[in-house]
Amino acid sequence: MPEAYKCCSPRDGADPTTFRAPVHVLWCSPRDGADPICALSAPACVEFSPNAANTTESAGAPAQSCSYDLGAKSLVCVDAGQDLNRAVLEQAHLQVVVPTDARGATPNAALAPAGVQTTFVQTQLYDDANYGGSFFQITNSSACNGSTTWYYGPLGNVGWSGRVSSFKSFSNCSTKVWQGTNYTGAAYGYAVNAANLDAMNDQANSVTMK
């Protein structure tokens, strides 16, 4: 155990204040015959017995799907089950043109506010293999032309670092995901679709489209 941390069990009457903040603590009670241990863990203190399984898990935030527009530099996210492209229309005033094979519904153009801009899905990155789970889509005011390269990164800026397990490209684009945050290092692509990313699974930190 690092000397910077000292963990004591509150049920034994010890003062659990001798650890460096901000940390979260796993308590291991000495009365169970184990040494006190300390570790980064869930966002609340947990009592852990070496004689029983630790069944307390941190309550993670619900997975969201998000849309980022390269031209408007706008980001819109929705919870699972909500209409992402409708939210883009309402919040960013962009009418997303969604190809047949893409995730997300196409909002009715008749509902669009006057003067709304049209934007095209260039790529969708998915949490799971085979295009499943939450997704992060990148849109732009034009389709790809095979020569101009479009960039987005770091994916950590929108909570998508190390999450991508598959992708699909649209609007005449192909996609490449990179391990580095600045389009460097190991990569997968360019490809139009990828149902899995092999060694690059959950490794992507930036993406390019062309």
- 111, 42: one domain: no
pLDDT per residue as tens digits for the range 71-118: 999 999 999 889 999 999 999 999 998 888 888 776 555 555 667 899
Instruction: Give the pLDDT confidence score for residue 92 in this predicted structure.
Output: 93
Does residue 1 lie within any of the structural domains? no
Mean pLDDT of the chain: 76
Q: Say if 7 falls within a structural domain.
A: no
- Give the model's pLDDT for residue 157: 94
| Per-residue pLDDT, 50 | 32
171 and 198 fall within a common domain: yes
Distance from C-alpha of 46 to C-alpha of 25, rounded to nearest angstrom: 7
pLDDT range class, residue 209, cuts 50, 70, 90: very high
Quote helix, strand, coil % in the chain, to nearest 5: 15, 30, 55
Query: Measured over all CA atoms, what is the biggest interatomic distance in the chain, rounded to whole angstroms?
Result: 71
Residues 198 and 129 in one domain: yes
Determine the pLDDT at residue 2. Answer: 33
Pair 64, 134: CB distance under 8 Å: yes
Collect all residues with Cβ–Cβ distance below 8 Å to 125 and sequence separation of at least 6: 135, 136, 137, 138, 155, 160, 163, 164, 166, 167, 175, 177, 204, 207
Distance CA 51, CA 54 (A): 9
How many domains does the structure of the chain reveal? 2
Residue 201 tokens, joined: 């699974």
- Whether the pLDDT of residue 10 is over 60: the answer is no
Is the separation of the CB atoms in 130 and 170 below 8 Å? Answer: no
| Mean pLDDT, rounded, for 52-66 | 53
> Is residue 188 pLDDT above 90, yes or no?
yes
Query: 117: which 2 tokens?
Result: 């801009």
User: What pLDDT, on a 0 to 100 scale, did the predictor assign at position 142?
Assistant: 93
Domain span including residue 120:
64-209
In a domain, 59, yes or no: no
| Same domain membership, residue 48 and residue 68 | no
- How, if at all, do strands 166-169 and 94-97 pair? unpaired
160 and 115 fall within a common domain: yes
What is the pLDDT, as a whole number, of residue 12? Answer: 41
How is residue 16 annotated by DSSP? T
Q: Are 92 and 28 found together in one domain? A: no
Same domain, 161 and 120: yes
Closest C-alpha among 169, 166, 199 to residue 185: 199
Does one domain contain both 41 and 79? no
What's the average model confidence in pLDDT over 7-28?
37
If asked whether residues 89 and 26 sit together in one domain, one would say no
Question: Residues 99, 154: one domain?
Answer: yes
Q: Over 80: is that where the pLDDT of 64 sits?
A: yes
> Residue 144 corresponds to which tokens in the numbers above?
């790809």
Tell whether the model's pLDDT for residue 39 goes beyond 50.
no
136 and 202 share one domain: yes
pLDDT at 145 over 70: yes
Tell me the average pLDDT across 44-53: 33
Examine the domain organization and report whether 48 and 73 are in the same domain: no
In a domain, 6, yes or no: no
Least confident of 18-22, 70-74, 170-174, 194-198: 18-22
pLDDT given at position 31: 36
Q: What whole-number distance in Å separates Cα of residue 138 and Cα of residue 153?
A: 11
